[in-house]
A and B are shown apart, each in its own frame.
Chain A
Amino acid sequence: MSALWHLNVVASYARNSKSRERQEFVLLCVSRFLDEVYENVDKMAQFGFENDIHSILKLDMPITNAPMARWQRKASSSNTSALSGLSPGKSANVSLSSSKTPSKTPGKNKKQTPSKMGGDRFIPTRNSKQMDVATFLLTKENEPADTNTSVTSETQKAWSVSLNGYNVEDAKILHLGGKPLNAPEGYQNNLKVLYTQTATPASIKKSRYISSTPDRILDAPDLRNDFYLNLLDWSSRNFLAVALHNSVYLWDATQGDIILLMKMEREEDYICSLSWTKEGSYLAVGTSDCKVQLWDVENQKRLRSMASHTARVGSLSWNDHVVSSGSRSGHIHHHDVRVADHHIGTLTAHTQEVCGLKWSPDGRYLASGGNDNLVCIWPRAQEGSAGNDSQLIRCWSEHQGAVKALAWCPWQPNILASGGGTSDRHIRIWNVNSGSCISSLDTQSQISSLVFAPNYKELVSAHGYAHNNVVVRKYPSLSKVAELNGHDDRVLSLTLSPDCSTVATVAADETIRLWKSFEMDPVKKKAKERMVKSTSSVIHQSIR
């Protein structure tokens, strides 16, 4: 087939070539070449066996005993012409028309070469007789018509042949009457598939290929199977942090190394949440002993241990130099990590564990979700003032289950997606400005995490009971694009890689799976990279 492909390339080159001669020459060569090819191919065909195999393998062979397909019925009803019973041709007195000699010489028959018939100018055959006639007619007036009879008929013949393609006097065209036969209704030949090289818009795939298997699987032994914890986060420096019981491990996604960042002193303590700063050099760790720790990853040193909560810190979110923490008590604290007196604000709308906490990308709003089924929106506190309840902008209670999954849309401002737990199972999209729920979708299983994947504008959800999978949906239509199955137990957390091509999930089956579902082709990637602005670190300057 490769030879044919090359040939097709040559042929298409010929087709597109402006030089007519080159075109003709190439076409002739191709045609001759193919003669040779087919000669050899046919000799090897064991067609009988092939025919059988062919008919077996062809899944769309017509079924022998089935009722007629619709197109067949239509075709049979349209071909009403009775084609049977043609009367045998009566022997007619046929006048011997001038036999056409095989014309190798350029003569009357100009069709030796692919002619310019139908070109821009019509040039009749300029044989001498016509020129004579022309001159004669021009110079003489009022000539009796019959003197030119013999000459005229020749010219007439010539004109006729050129115009009609045949001599009208000598021949007539017949065709078998009745409706013209055509292919069954709706049939469109698909030769395009075999022979075309140009990619038509229709041939470009509408949706990309999403692998159904994870790109990588990492072992996560000792992972706490607790719905309310947030134990996975991926930094902008491409480090994946995971908390296994009371230890925090970092996996270098570029190199593949594993680093044990920290381990809590007491065995009964455990890590409840992790959150990287925006530039990825510091990691906030929420613990069961009600503290928020701050770690310098480069030096593997703990910088701070901030105590303010009365219960475990199950959720964390950064907003520049402020880290907000949500606790089992239902309280949310803001910590300014630059100052000694870190606790700068308290938000107390939730009555049960705050399991979802996310600052919007522009840093204006904080979304929180709790075990009390509430989704609350808080504004950014003014510098210096203490945060209080009256600042609560929105409080949505539509969810019927714990709201742990929260995600802000990176490309559309003020859009928040939230997902409910086992008793709710709905994804809801909110507009923070208007306060309305834009859309809602029942996903049939517990939603533990949501993330927006900007590369293809999709929303990814991680599910627990009962599907234990990850679903990729187009945003904003929320139509399913792909399902990533593989985890044997409920998926607890989901996080997106810094280049937005991969999503990492951790599940109760003690594995971390990396799904490379959002890879962009290099061209688009370059365009995107040019648009990304580098943000400078605020903390780095002021941390003590």
Chain B
Amino acid sequence: VKKMTSTLKGITLKGSAELVAEFFSFGINSILYQRGIYPPETFTRVTHYDMSLQLTTDPKLKNYLTNVVSQLKEWLFECTVQKLVLVITCLETNEVLERWQFDIECDKSAKESSAPREKSIKTIQDEIRSVIRQITATVTFLPLLETPCAFDLLVYTDKDLVVPDKWEESGPQTIDQSEEVRLRSFTTSIHKVNSMVAYKKTESV
């Protein structure tokens, strides 16, 4: 249990940002593992949120994710991020096959100086756990990714945000003809994260 988000003190903006960023880190890893974007043997199992999760051991990927997540954390703290999207595209055709979208609603009234919110870590973690479980459960109905795939992480931020180095603007990369399934959401009482997955509609058999 991190000091800044201790149950005694409640949830602060910084703490909330941490929690959400952490969720994204594990969530993205889970998706990459479950959807088979990376070989399963490059993942290792860890415990978090009172459940077993897969984390990648691939150094390049780890590096990339760390960078994205740490930037996200900042933006969460500043409440400038609106969505995080994980796009899975077919390597050859660049067609978007799957799109995991996490909408972030930030309570802007919670500033650094304001009093911490009342919400137990345990509750938040329970909620997060449900979401990650749902992500795992989606494999049963998501169409198989039969071709080698690439993934990309898109962040929807406020319009006037200063774009940091190494980050570029991008299109939304939506799927035409998509099926969408909304998953559970969780909230830290400062940040609320809604999750959903959109996938390319497969031809009916």
Contacts and interface: CB of A to CB of B under 8 A. Distances in A.
A31 B138 contact: yes
Interface of A: 4, 7-8, 11, 14-16, 18, 27, 30-31, 34-35, 38-39, 42, 45, 47, 50-51, 54, 58, 60-62, 75-76, 79, 81-97, 99-100, 102, 111-115, 117-119, 164-166, 168-178, 180-184, 186-192, 195-196, 198
Contacts of B168: 174-175, 177
Contacts of A115: 180
Nearest to B172: A165
Interface residues of B, number: 90
Interface string B132-176: 011011111101111111111111111111111111111110111
Contacts of B163: 174
Contacts of A165: 172, 174
10 contacts: A92-B162, A115-B180, A171-B157, A176-B67, A176-B167, A177-B168, A183-B39, A188-B148, A189-B39, A191-B35
Nearest to A191: B36
A497 to B, nearest CB: 41
Given A87-B165, A178-B166, A181-B64, A173 B172 contact: yes
B44 interface: yes
B78 interface: yes
A95 B145 contact: no
Nearest to B78: A94
A183 B169 CA distance: 23
A111 B47 CA distance: 33
Given A51-B45, A117-B180, A176-B153, A39 B35 contact: no
Nearest to B42: A62
A173 B41 contact: no
Interface in B51-82: 51-52, 60-61, 63-64, 67-68, 70-71, 74-75, 78-80, 82
Contact of A172 (B143, B151, B164, B169): B169
Contact of B45 (A47, A75, A190): A47
A174 B72 CA distance: 11
Contact of A79 (B60, B134, B171): B60
Most chain B C-beta atoms within 10 Å of own C-beta, residue among A89, A92, A172: A89
A181 B60 contact: yes
Contacts of B181: 27, 31, 114
A90 B176 CA distance: 36
Contacts of B153: 175-176
Interface string B161-205: 111111111111011111111110000000010001000001011
